[in-house]
Amino acid sequence: MAMDARSAMDQMYRYQRHIYDFTRKYYLFGRDSLIQDLPILPGETICEVGCGTARNLITLAHRFPQAQLYGIDASDEMLKTAQQAIDKAGLTHRIQIAQGLAQDFDGRALFGLNEPFDRLLFSYSLSMIDEWQAAIDYGITQIKPDGFIHIVDFGNQDQLPKWFKNVLGAWLSAFHVRFRPEIRNYFDELAARGDGHVSFRNFMRGYAYLLTFERAC
């Protein structure tokens, strides 16, 4: 299953990776708003799950020069572009990336870390993961008590015209992307049983959402 996921992502991004950032800036809204609002402290460790071209990690490195940044992605092809971007930005010493899946990555094995991460970032990645619940559950185990999961992703488009949602949904399905309003409900369930605290806000009339989950001690 893991190898199938990696192969599928490699096939999807073998050529797309060269134009990914140029095209995605027109519809992956909210990424910079999330980064702008992150209350990252000096020395914190942040891992982006599904880091793609490392666009977000490079932005984080410039905004938070004392943070320790890591990224995983299922696609070797995408990681080639990511590493090139990191090297070009002169951030090889600041950002480490590796191949891994959201359901089984290990900061100790991949990056030699001795402790869980302070924060995980999911930027338009959970909507691509069929086993999104497993990814969330596993991600919680990879952050410290009082650690955070930050998510930006497609919303349910409920405040936008129905035709817009239908057209966008049909187009995104070609990239194996789904609207997943159930993700918010799942985090609310986690909070209700005492596993942590969740905050949520819609972005651009429900086009996207920003969610933060703080793990309980």
Of 54-58, 155-159, 165-169, 205-209, highest mean pLDDT: 54-58
pLDDT of residue 108: 93
Structure tokens of 148? Answer: 């955070």
pLDDT in tens, 183-217: 999 999 999 999 999 999 987 666 888 999 999 98
CA distance 158 to 203: 11
Sequence ranges of the domains in the chain: 2-215
Q: Which CA distances in Å does 48 have to 58, 118, 119?
A: 11, 11, 9
Q: Work out the percent of the chain whose per-residue pLDDT is above 90.
A: 58
State in words which class domain 2-215 has. alpha beta
pTM for the predicted model, two decimal places = 0.82
Q: Which CA distances in Å does 94 have to 3, 106, 124?
A: 29, 19, 23
Structure tokens of 212? Answer: 């933060």
Q: At residue 168, does pLDDT exceed 80?
A: no
* Strand pairing class (143-154; 95-99): unpaired
